[in-house]
Structure 1
């Protein structure tokens, strides 16, 4: 009788030291685990080899991207059940390497029908190769941005919808994704107190949505910068179709190379996560220098929870290898302190964590609704990367493992006149 699923369940529970909360369906058709629970489908023995060599998150991610494992049932429920065993463990048991545990190694090799330890399978093609050298040089940042954003504008249209905004929306009950993204862009414009003919710098301008909204609705002159050539080409086409080429310039340019200040306002929406801890003060200093006295900065950024020991923070393996190479998250307090250290006066902080969970669930729904087309537009592996990372991030926002915040800061001139209204939240 086929029994791979039962043997896998036993092996997993011995390794994790806890009952497995999902069912397992193995490559031989056998099943084991709690009835009615979501099912982890292990299609190929190769997935076990990956876990032998890289236990925990990275091994599972490689098997997922390669299509060697899947979920039968609700993806969010399955990830929620597994999170406590893989992503939210308070000890280091998940780091135990079973290759060096003779008992577990023997059990795994028996399932693999191997007499000795097999070599690790090559990672899926979508994985970023190990990078050498210092973090966040201009060249390395450009490659990292290209990995994430230059995967096809048609693919992003499918996921993001007509708004083509790749950051947290701002929701009201019953609104659509497009409504919520429009409201987010308008909220930022109002926080920045934009008015006719102001100069706005949009750092990390994406596909041009913020630039178009600000120019069309508020009459400002916009400079947008991005490191993605595909984004820039798409944004320029949209701008031409809107008849706004006289008001918007899109550049393929690093924010560190912008020299044509001063600007009245700067928007940075979902870009600072790419800056990195070693460059964050440089980022804040550069934006401060580019603003005129009284100029405003709106920094919209994902944040992580602070660590008891900040030196222990490490970037998530799956995100670093498959999604945002070299991306880093900082706690809200550290970000505001750095912005203040550059000379800004922080005037408002708005926490919109739950809004990002809703946004991500809509993006996942868009992807799943047209899955065959998503695969055609990129690769099966890349589509699987996006589905897993967006669903897992939705849960992380819902569980307060990460957050997202809008920080409004002003380059307050000498004398202290910020130029903001006495009731600063009149933008509501």
Structure 2
């Protein structure tokens, strides 16, 4: 006959399990030279013993949620993630959530047209006041180019010039901006290169600001899914949007580029990329930051534009995104007193975790930043790509 455990026995059993999970996590963290309750900036301090089981059984989702809830802290969260990802510790824990996410991503089109606006409503509509505090003066929400740049404003302007010089923009061209954000890139192209721009977004809040930002310029802002686009363009670019396309739609995306690009046209794809081919995103990031998003691998990109477009250049500057994210984090912290009346402390910790974990991921080269230049027919003769 089995008797129910009394409270002392239950506490003892719980303590034993906590100790077991703690030892498992200590073993994983040891590969990254991270100590639990250590005194170095990248060591973590645990405030709730339930943390150990949660991370071992829930992986990245448990790690992120427990940070949001204040179960642990770290003085240098960016360095913590740099060490964690560089050592491959994230690959040591395989959870049911990860397996289910992989199966769903493989079988379902999470980015189908009926779901296209979810990430806009969830993330990009978070609050223009937050993004105005966080971003540069043009509100460019993508990696800056820090070559010879000392400030975020300079890095973002250099990135825009890099994109448009690679595309060889000339006065009078018709340009398509897929995923225009708050309109900063479209406005810059119209003002500095004298082109007309059709710019689209899936965020109503972005569209509202972009229309005001581009007033009086030959820029048309449209709230729509990229798959509905019509027309022909001299140049097409996408900056920080491809992460929301999804592997089941990559071919559709490049078919659109091929269909809408004039025979002598060029297209630039600026995207975060992954080092391995996958069919789903990180569980924590998908739940709290970018729903239904995933990072393409180089193989997924090349196999899906094959037969449609020709590769002209593939530019990697992943470390620049680490610098950009740290600059965004500094801006949020600097303005937090003005933001905290609208955003909770849980949100604050979530946003810290988002920016600094991504920064550590780029610095460790766990994820990459690519600019890919494609042509319709191939550039004839000598062509030197801007750097």
Same fold (TM over 0.5): yes
User: Hey, what's the Cα distance between the residues in 1 that align with 2:213 and 2:376?
Assistant: 32
Cα displacement (A) at 1:271: 0.6
Cα displacement (A) at 1:396: 1.2
**Does the CA-based 8 Å contact 1:346-1:407 persist in structure 2?**
yes
1:178-220 deviation line (CA, Å, top 9, x unaligned): 0110111111111111111110010000000110010000110
> Is 2:186 aligned against 1:211?
yes
The alpha-carbon distance between structure 1 residues 249 and 304, as it changes in their structure 2 partners (threshold 3 A), is: same
Residue 275 (structure 2) aligned to one of 293, 299, 305: 305
Counterpart residue number, 1:56: 59
Counterpart residue number, 1:270: 240
**Does the CA-based 8 Å contact 1:353-1:404 persist in structure 2?**
yes
Residue 238 (structure 1) aligned to one of 213, 218, 229: 213
Counterpart residue number, 2:89: 88
User: Hey, what's the Cα distance between the residues in 2 that align with 1:221 and 1:390?
Assistant: 34
> Is 2:14 aligned against 1:12?
no
User: Hey, what's the Cα distance between the residues in 1 that align with 2:43 and 2:300?
Assistant: 40
**Does the CA-based 8 Å contact 2:21-2:53 persist in structure 1?**
no
The alpha-carbon distance between structure 1 residues 19 and 278, as it changes in their structure 2 partners (threshold 3 A), is: closer
Cα displacement (A) at 1:75: 2.0
Q: Identify the range of structure 1 (356-365 vs 75-84) with the bigger mean alpha-carbon deviation.
A: 75-84
Q: For 1:26-45, what aligned pairs fall within 5 Å after superposition?
A: 33-36=37-40, 38=42, 40-44=44-48
The structure whose RCO (Cα within 8 Å, separation 6+) is larger is 2
> Is 2:351 aligned against 1:391?
no
Counterpart residue number, 2:337: 372
**The residue matched to 1:282 in structure 2 has which SS?**
helix
**Does the CA-based 8 Å contact 2:234-2:262 persist in structure 1?**
yes
1:331-357 deviation line (CA, Å, top 9, x unaligned): 12331332233x111111111112111
**Does the CA-based 8 Å contact 1:152-1:378 persist in structure 2?**
no
Counterpart residue number, 2:294: 328
User: Hey, what's the Cα distance between the residues in 1 that align with 2:62 and 2:328?
Assistant: 25
Q: For 1:42-121, what aligned pairs fall within 5 Å after superposition?
A: 42-44=46-48, 47=51, 50-51=54-55, 54-71=57-74, 73-83=75-85, 88-92=89-93, 95=95
Residue 251 (structure 1) aligned to one of 222, 226, 233: 222
Please give the TM-score of this superposition, normalised by the length of structure 1: 0.77
The alpha-carbon distance between structure 1 residues 173 and 221, as it changes in their structure 2 partners (threshold 3 A), is: closer
Residue segments in structure 1 that go unaligned for 5+ positions in a row: 25-32, 98-129
User: Hey, what's the Cα distance between the residues in 1 that align with 2:83 and 2:312?
Assistant: 40
- Number of residues paired by the alignment? 365
> Is 2:187 aligned against 1:184?
no
Counterpart residue number, 2:11: none
**Does the CA-based 8 Å contact 1:75-1:391 persist in structure 2?**
yes
Q: Identify the range of structure 1 (355-364 vs 376-385) with the bigger mean alpha-carbon deviation.
A: 376-385
The alpha-carbon distance between structure 1 residues 291 and 403, as it changes in their structure 2 partners (threshold 3 A), is: same
Residue segments in structure 2 that go unaligned for 5+ positions in a row: 1-13, 98-103
Counterpart residue number, 2:314: 349
The alpha-carbon distance between structure 1 residues 134 and 248, as it changes in their structure 2 partners (threshold 3 A), is: same
Q: Aligned-residue CA RMSD in angstroms?
A: 3.0
